């Protein structure tokens, strides 16, 4: 089973906002932090390119990644139901992998910080590009319409959670196979879809 990270398994809104806020004095062009946080999903360089001259993007991305471990991780929390969703997969002998647009280093740091029980982490992929890392995954879970593209490209069931910038109606209209309010509904859906009995804790 594949999972996105930001706003699917990890609530990084405060974390990302804190990093961008810390960066503002170093940028030639002001970034509207609430707006960029509302668009979380695409890779960092793509997000920065919407605001900064192209020549300044590499330095800004390097600064972001320098600041991220110190500023972002302490205010990162797991999304509701994240641990239970991953444990539901692993309790049946399944593998849970994270495939995200976040850089590999920051993705691994986030997974480790939150103690998310995943088997593999792949970073810096977005949209249909994620299919390259989703071989063999029956399901891909994400919060963005681009995650629906990823699932389609991988031939996986698209499970969308309305915990990011894309509301449930948009995810449903875009063609997600399943739309959940958040990951708290995943174990029951998983059990019903794959005919497994959820463990009692």
pTM (predicted TM-score): 0.94
| Ordered structural domains, the chain, with CATH | 2-11+77-194 (3.40.50.1000), 13-75 (1.10.150)
Q: The tokens of 114 are what?
A: 């939150």
What is the spatial distance between Cα 115 and Cα 145, in angstroms, rounded to a whole number?
27
The string of pLDDT tens digits covering residues 64-73 is 999 999 999 9
Strands 139-142 and 157-161, bridge-based pairing? parallel
Beta bridge partners of 157: 139
SS3 140: strand
Given a contact cutoff of 8 angstroms between Cβ atoms, the answer to whether 161 and 180 are in contact is yes
The string of pLDDT tens digits covering residues 96-153 is 999 999 999 999 999 999 999 999 999 999 999 999 999 999 999 999 999 999 999 9
Q: The tokens of 108 are what?
A: 């691994």
- Please give the radius of gyration of the chain, using alpha carbons only, rounded to the nearest integer: 17
User: What confidence score (pLDDT) does residue 200 get?
Assistant: 47
């Amino acid at each position: 089973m594949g999972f996105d990270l930001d706003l699917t398994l990890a609530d990084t809104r405060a974390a990302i906002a804190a990093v961008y806020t810390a960066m503002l004095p170093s940028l030639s062009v002001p970034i509207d932090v609430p707006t960029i946080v509302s668009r979380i999903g695409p890779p960092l360089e793509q997000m920065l390119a919407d605001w900064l001259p192209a020549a300044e993007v590499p330095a800004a991305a390097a600064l972001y990644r320098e600041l991220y471990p110190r500023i972002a991780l302490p205010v990162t929390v797991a999304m509701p139901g994240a641990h239970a969703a991953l444990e539901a997969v692993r309790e049946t002998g399944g593998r849970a992998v994270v495939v995200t647009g976040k850089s590999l280093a920051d993705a691994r740091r986030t997974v480790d910080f939150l103690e998310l029980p995943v088997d593999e982490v792949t970073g810096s992929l977005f949209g249909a590009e994620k299919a390259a890392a989703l071989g063999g995954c029956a399901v891909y879970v994400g919060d963005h319409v681009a995650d629906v593209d990823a699932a389609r490209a991988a031939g996986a069931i698209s499970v969308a959670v309305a915990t990011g910038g894309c509301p449930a109606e948009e995810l449903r209209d875009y063609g997600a196979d399943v739309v959940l309010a958040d990951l708290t509904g995943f174990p029951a859906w998983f059990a019903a879809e794959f005919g497994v009995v959820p463990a009692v804790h």
